[in-house]
Amino acid sequence: MVKKKPPAESAKPVVSRSATTAAEKGKAYPFTVDPGRAANMRGNRRTDTKPELALRGALHAMGYRYRKDFRLDLPARRVRPDIAFTSRKVAVFVDGCFWHACPEHGSKPKSNEWYWSPKLVRNVERDRAADAALAEAGWTVVRLWEHVPLADAVAQVIGAVGEPRRPLP
C-alpha cells in the first residue's frame, strides 16, 4: 500500500529561535519561506571555516602553537580572534568576503537588502572597534581575507608573530 503525502500547506516561514527572540524584542528580521535557504544559512560557520582550518594547519605544522576562537576580555570590549598567540599578543582574523564586505570580492545582497546592507556595515564597524580595542590593549592585529593564498597568509602571520618558540626537530 502506497501512502499518500498530505496536501501541501501554504509556505510557512522557517523561524529559528534567534529570529523569534529578535522579533520579540521588536527587531526586524527577514524570515525565509524556503527550507533550503534556511538550512544554507544555518550551515554558515562562525569558526572553523575552510580558510581558517588551512591556516591553522599550516601554522601548526611549522611548530606554532596558539589558541583558537579564544575570548579576550579587554577593558573596552570582548573580542574573539580566530587565532590568538597569547604570549606574543597577536590576534589573527580570517574574514569572509561576504560577511566582512571585502572591497574586491564582497557582493551586495539582492534579497532582503533592507536587512543585509546595515548588517554588513555593522560587521565592518565591529571589526574596526575590535581592532582598536586590541591595539589599545597592546595587541598586534592581523586581518586576512579568505581569498588570500595560504602561503601569503602564513607569511603575514609569521611576520607578526616571529619564529616559533620551539622549532620542530
Residues 40 and 117 in one domain: no
Residues 55 and 28 in one domain: no
Residues 20 and 62 in one domain: no
| Gap between the Cα atoms of 80 and 93, Å rounded | 9
pLDDT digits (tens, 9 = 90+) for 69-108: 999 999 999 999 999 999 999 999 999 888 888 888 777 8
Can you list the positions of beta strands (E) in the chain? 67-68, 72-73, 78-79, 83-85, 90-95, 140-145
Structural domain range at position 37: 10-44
| Gap between the Cα atoms of 150 and 107, Å rounded | 22
CATH number of the domain enclosing 137: 3.40.960.10
**How many domains is the chain built from?**
2
Q: What pTM did the predictor assign?
A: 0.75
Q: Is residue 112 part of a domain?
A: yes
